[in-house]
Amino acid sequence: MEDASRALGFSRAKGYDLVRRGEFPCRVLRIGRATRVVTASLLRVLESGWHRPARAV
């Protein structure tokens, strides 16, 4: 989660917040208390040229 969040330009806390809201941009698995990002999904998102939405002011 931490590496995926960083790769997408989010802080660790923001990444977990997006997961809780169901808005993380790639597939995430919850295994017990652990949260794991599916590597293939992360690579697809990064290769697609996805960019983090601008912050609302």
* Per-residue pLDDT at 6 exceeds 70: yes
User: Look-up: residue for tokens 């802080």?
Assistant: 11
Evaluate if residue 36 carries a pLDDT over 80: yes
The average pLDDT across 35-44 equals: 96
**Rounded Cα distance, 15 and 6, in Å:** 8
The pLDDT value given to residue 57? 46
Say if residue 52's pLDDT is above 80: no
For residue 55, what pLDDT is reported? Answer: 62
